[in-house]
Structure 1
């Protein structure tokens, strides 16, 4: 899927845009000074020589048509006047990607009901080497047009783990907007602009089949405003290095709070994706990726291993203690939480092919994936997270685009959060549930109707939504996928 590898095998006539890149983000800190002005700029310059990342961009075939695309099933590749091909010859390509879900909570959760939701994502890529002779310079921008009649996870299941990753407030918003410069024959990439971390870090390519595939719950809940992840992006700089074949190092600094401080929903505080905040404390991501048997001519089992972590320089509330070290849940206490300096997490990702059919590529056959992560127990809402699953792809005769998968995710509340609940019950005499974990299971099948047009039924079961036993939910639904 085009990772920006210098030696990637590309079919004849295909333009493969790099999915590697670097990002920088800022993070808000409650303890300690914010990284602003000169200090922030110096960190960006320091990072500009160390790492590599991926952006979620399609491959493009002849005539500037994304691969796959419903355009290939239309007369003249859906380009009757040749404008798309003319632009592609000059390094300008575009993509329209629409996903629509119908989801029903048929049992348990907060309440039963059905919602529809959709996401139209246009994107534009410009290769300035083709357009203007500027070697190694490229541009990318994308946006989101979101509509729905409700939010399944928030309004119906009442959980924390993703049900369908396109869930968001209805709006039109800018997502990413960046320039990337490749150096040293593409070995180094420097990317700067408005960026999202979830397309470059802590990501499993195998998991992309599932509707619940998203930025891991542990990072989304432990970072201000959910971190720089769908649907929010933030200014940053990301640098990537591939020192040897199939080893990719990446490091980024982001603005740590993409919505900025305030109360209420972070998506409404940055409703159109144009806050462009640069005054918050910094958020760092770093990751090392090791790839095996990724080429189309390889016959061995493919493998991708990633080891990474993140660090936020801002301040975070202690989950259990007040500033005077008394229980925060004490009704006679101050109610003002103890502030902790910084937060972070470590993680590992594995995509392991278990069976590769004769002549199959690295995404065919049977592949298992897993992600695991941990964060400090005193200042994090989620202390431990793991997800994983199995995908079977390209094994149905005459239906190479079909895929079947089973996945699960498990998020355990941090010790501090659970101790707060116990303190509340002890000090108030109540008997409210103590949050423990939330676990999701998804079963799905993607049926390719035409290249670039899929229909994907799914079933999801949620145990302990928001850590509360006895509210298990069952969700059924389907996704329609169109790419032009």
Structure 2
């Protein structure tokens, strides 16, 4: 979704950039002006061979390429140590249909991923819940989004329809995008079927956005509620599923106007409801604990699941003469869901980001973040039941957490290099180490470096 925001937003945003983002489609006159920082600017005549990009942009067609590659490795803890390499090439196309064919207020968008890696660090090395790398996914070439959008004449109302993701507009913090572990929150990724409509998966849906002025927006969307397992069911993104129970999301976004000190902030309040059937984590259909030897081993069914969340982004300090993206920023996200039918019932993340304050490095950014995911009460009680009814050596899961420290070097417009350190606590919430069942998987440190090129 990163390039969707880059290509379709009047306010530029890229990984590591802070500030409020207005996700309404760009108007015709601003498509070129709002192009994100690009290595094209450093390539001279080779940046736009034959002037092709300028020609297509003049006709309302813009395209972007984003290549992210990284090497990460756990040096302590987990079930397997050693490095992995991961990469993602994203191609995105945005079409201003007003400029191209005279369809006033219409825009189109599509993006494709080519994902490659040598083995996911999250599953292979730690068997954890929280993301280690937000580009990690099943190796494939896949369609992500494919949609049309109609915007009202005054720009206040827009309707998007097609193959959509939720994580680009819902439940996201602009400040936190610098962090490798910043992703679709664990509480939705772990609880919703196939992880929900979020990277690398999309699903058919409709999204309505109302922005009466610069200080407030309201969004509501309905998605097919199960995009399908990315490795076995929906490997190419072409499985346009329509028959699953729906997922409905809504969010209100409030943005403050910068004062005399240039500081601003935003608050997002949202919630979601999935209308499918969900298993209870502790009880069977007769009311007995699933761990009881007399249980029928068929979990009690619940009609739907839901969650509420809040997101806060705040600009805390801006240096004299600094632009709107310089200074100290903070963010936090928090969410809760019913504990009887969800693996994670409480989730929070947050952090501090510093931008433009390093001498002679005005575009560099660094930050410190944390993520916390609590295992739901019924899942914890199920573990306790197993200890009562079966093996006394079982382990009761509790929580998983991550601390991340990162620094993003801006080497050139459109090229960043980012060393990164993470420490993982209680992987999987405290699941058993398969090589030593008498103890949980140990936490450990992950070191890595990421390079990102934008064209």
Q: TM-score higher than 0.5 here?
A: yes
Q: Which residue of 2 aligns with 1:20?
A: 23
Alignment of 1:441-460 (within 5 A): 441-460=403-422
Render the CA deviation track for 1:121-152: whole Å, top value 9, x for unaligned.
Answer: 00000001111111110000001100001100
Q: Does 1:346 align with 2:317?
A: no
Q: CA separation in 2, counterparts of 1:197 and 1:288?
A: 14
Number of paired residues? 432
Q: Which residue of 2 aligns with 1:135?
A: 104
Pick aligned residue for 1:471 from 433, 442, 448: 442
SS at match of 1:312: strand
Q: Which residue of 2 aligns with 1:277?
A: 241
Q: Which residue of 2 aligns with 1:258?
A: 227
Q: State the 1:113 CA deviation.
A: 1.3
Q: Which residue of 1 aligns with 2:127?
A: 158
Q: State the 1:385 CA deviation.
A: 0.2
Q: Which residue of 1 aligns with 2:78?
A: 109
Pick aligned residue for 2:359 from 397, 410, 427: 397
Q: Where in structure 2 are there 5+ consecutive unaligned residues? A: 14-20, 431-439
Q: CA separation in 2, counterparts of 1:4 and 1:138?
A: 9
Q: Which residue of 1 aligns with 2:435?
A: none
Q: Where in structure 1 are there 5+ consecutive unaligned residues? A: 11-17, 22-53, 260-264
Cα 1:5/1:96, change in 2 over 3 Å: closer
| Contact 2:6-2:36 at 8 Å conserved across structures | no
SS at match of 1:416: helix
Q: Which residue of 2 aligns with 1:35?
A: none
Cα 1:242/1:196, change in 2 over 3 Å: same
Q: Which residue of 2 aligns with 1:45?
A: none
| Contact 1:4-1:19 at 8 Å conserved across structures | no
Q: CA separation in 2, counterparts of 1:450 and 1:374?
A: 41
| Contact 1:101-1:477 at 8 Å conserved across structures | yes
Alignment of 1:170-185 (within 5 A): 170-185=139-154
Alignment of 1:220-259 (within 5 A): 220-259=189-228
Pick aligned residue for 1:369 from 331, 350, 360: 331
Q: State the 1:357 CA deviation.
A: 1.9
Q: CA separation in 1, counterparts of 2:407 and 2:176?
A: 13
Q: Which residue of 2 aligns with 1:48?
A: none
Query: Cα RMSD between the aligned structures?
Result: 2.1
| Contact 1:61-1:67 at 8 Å conserved across structures | no
Q: State the 1:336 CA deviation.
A: 0.4
Q: State the 1:470 CA deviation.
A: 5.6
Q: Does 1:384 align with 2:353?
A: no
SS at match of 1:107: coil
Q: CA separation in 1, counterparts of 2:282 and 2:189?
A: 20
Q: State the 1:396 CA deviation.
A: 1.8
Q: CA separation in 1, counterparts of 2:324 and 2:186?
A: 27
Q: State the 1:221 CA deviation.
A: 0.6
Q: CA separation in 2, counterparts of 1:418 and 1:130?
A: 57
Q: CA separation in 1, counterparts of 2:59 and 2:423?
A: 48
**Larger RCO of the pair (alpha carbons < 8 Å, separation 6+):** 1
Render the CA deviation track for 1:273-324: whole Å, top value 9, x for unaligned.
Answer: 0110111111011000011236xx9743110110001100111000100011
Q: Which residue of 2 aligns with 1:438?
A: 400
Cα 1:396/1:77, change in 2 over 3 Å: farther
| Contact 1:293-1:362 at 8 Å conserved across structures | no
Q: CA separation in 2, counterparts of 1:119 and 1:470?
A: 29
Q: CA separation in 2, counterparts of 1:246 and 1:101?
A: 37
SS at match of 1:448: strand
SS at match of 1:167: coil
Q: CA separation in 1, counterparts of 2:31 and 2:123?
A: 36
Q: Which residue of 2 aligns with 1:290?
A: 254
SS at match of 1:371: strand
Render the CA deviation track for 1:65-96: whole Å, top value 9, x for unaligned.
Answer: 94211110001261120011000000000000
